[in-house]
Structure 1
Amino acid sequence: MSEQKYFVDHDTNSETHSFQGRLKIAMDQIGGFSALMRETGLSNSAISNYLKGRKPKIDIAIKIAEVCKVDAAWLILGGQHDKSTDIISHSSKNEIINIPLLNVEASAGNGLVSPEWHDAEMIPFSRDLVYQLLGSVPKSLFMMRVQGDSMSPTIHPKDILFVDYAPNRLTQGIYVMAAGELTLVKRLAAKDPTTFSVISDNTAYPTFDVPMERACWGNASPDADLRIVGRVIKVLHDFD
């Protein structure tokens, strides 16, 4: 198997500071524009648009990274300054971890009936980059895409969420949650000592309340009206 490579930025003016700059570097690994078209099946116009600044869907970015044999997280997110080397092998100082990208969209709207949750693609990230992005490397982590605008301007349609699903004390924050058959992303806050308010940042959407005794993590309570799937710890706005 060919060794995957992880590139790092040298300064904030570096070519790798933008997605199109990183894409140019990635293409060079396999012979340029024509080779990328041939190996990915992407059209001339699609690649041209990406080189002009249009962001691909994350699954397309992952496919490009795999074909070009570069770190998918680096291509999508970029990296930090490191003067020691231009290219860092994933087998050296950067351990690779796989984060599942669920094949389900949480609705920042009125709700979405979710398909099978177990159908996820494992996305490779360097541990250093995850730490840079999140400030920690949670073991209980997944990613998912958002649809709907009820959390705008905080979260936009097609944004990618990093979600920590380890059960913890419920505090004010943004959570992925399930209400019946619907999967939602909303802000949770304590209305009073016995009631949670489920809030949309977009004021066009109404707030609703749930008794605290009727909310739980996952399937902890068979009678719960609101089940917390995980806490949103990072939002990626870059990819549409």
Structure 2
Amino acid sequence: MAPQSDIDTETDSDFIARIARLVTRAGGQNALARATGLSLGAIQRYLKGGEPTRGALIRLATAGNVSLDWLVYGGMDEQSSPAHNPVPVYGFAECGLQGWYNPVRYKINATLDWPDPELYAVVASGLSMVPEGIHPGHICIISPNTRAHTGDAVLIRRNDGASTIKRLVREDDTWVHVQGWLDPEKENAPQIPYTDQIKRSVIEQLAPVIFIKRRA
């Protein structure tokens, strides 16, 4: 039986080879970075053995049109499943409170290979999450049945229907603490972070953003 370190090395090299295959298909590292919305540095880290986050794996698999199982574990079946879940898409309409919006249903669906039949998407609005890589017009895929973790971008929908996307800082039985960034005072000026707390009793849904896609 091979030593554990040898098995880990083989597994790492196989994973790197699959990332390299996605790079080749995309037309290079820069092209894959653009297709996934990841930085060039992130792609280069993965090619050197760095471990992608859950969100990065989803972006890589979606951009490469391969299944998550193949990307993570390898095997013969690399193509993503044809039985994609339809994902309803919503826009964000201003509702009079800064950073909060009312969802408006679009007459289109997206598709994504992800084991949550309740997936939906929103088109981001506003600048409060630009430092987290979410720009106005980006499509954010929301998974209500995936547990949110500290540091995740999350969609919070209140009982009155108003919604916002923020970074989850911490939560307890009574409060959910989130972070956003104020609009810059002038073009190219740094954005100042702020924190907010939302009473859990007014929250109808808190769900993580599992994938971010630039609109074509």
Q: TM-score normalised to the size of structure 1?
A: 0.47
Distance 1:193 1:183, change over 3 A: closer
Does 1:233 find its partner at 2:213?
Answer: no
CA distance in 2, matches of 1:186, 1:122: 24
CA distance in 2, matches of 1:155, 1:11: 26
Partner residue, 1:140 = 118
**AA aligned opposite 1:186:** K
Partner residue, 2:186 = none
Matches within 5 A, 1:121-160: 121-125=108-112, 130=113, 137-157=115-135, 158-160=137-139
Residue 184 of structure 1, CA deviation: 0.6
Residue 138 of structure 1, CA deviation: 2.3
Task: Kindly tell me the number of residue pairs found equivalent between the two proteins.
Answer: 156
**AA aligned opposite 1:147:** S
Cα deviation, 1:23-45, whole Å, max 9, x if unaligned, reads: xxxxxxxxxxxxxxxxxxxxxxx
3-state SS in 2 of match to 1:94: coil
Contact preservation (8 Å) 2:90, 2:121:
no
Unaligned runs of 5+ in 2: 1-18, 36-58, 183-190
Does 1:177 find its partner at 2:178?
Answer: no
Unaligned runs of 5+ in 1: 1-8, 23-53, 56-72, 131-135, 215-223
Does 1:14 find its partner at 2:27?
Answer: no
Partner residue, 2:44 = none
3-state SS in 1 of match to 2:154: strand
Name which of 94, 97, 103 aligns with 1:114.
103
Contact preservation (8 Å) 2:88, 2:119:
no
Cα deviation, 1:105-151, whole Å, max 9, x if unaligned, reads: 388x6222332x4x4523345xxxx3xxxxx5222212222112211
Q: TM-score normalised to the size of structure 2?
A: 0.51
Contact preservation (8 Å) 1:111, 1:182:
yes
**AA aligned opposite 2:89:** L
Matches within 5 A, 1:98-109: 98-105=85-92
CA distance in 1, matches of 2:81, 2:192: 44
Distance 1:166 1:15, change over 3 A: closer
3-state SS in 2 of match to 1:113: strand
Residue 192 of structure 1, CA deviation: 5.9
Contact preservation (8 Å) 1:106, 1:144:
no
Partner residue, 1:133 = none
Identity %: 13
Distance 1:150 1:96, change over 3 A: same
CA distance in 1, matches of 2:138, 2:162: 18
Distance 1:230 1:106, change over 3 A: farther
Name which of 167, 188, 192 aligns with 1:204.
192
CA distance in 2, matches of 1:140, 1:77: 21
Does 1:96 find its partner at 2:73?
Answer: no
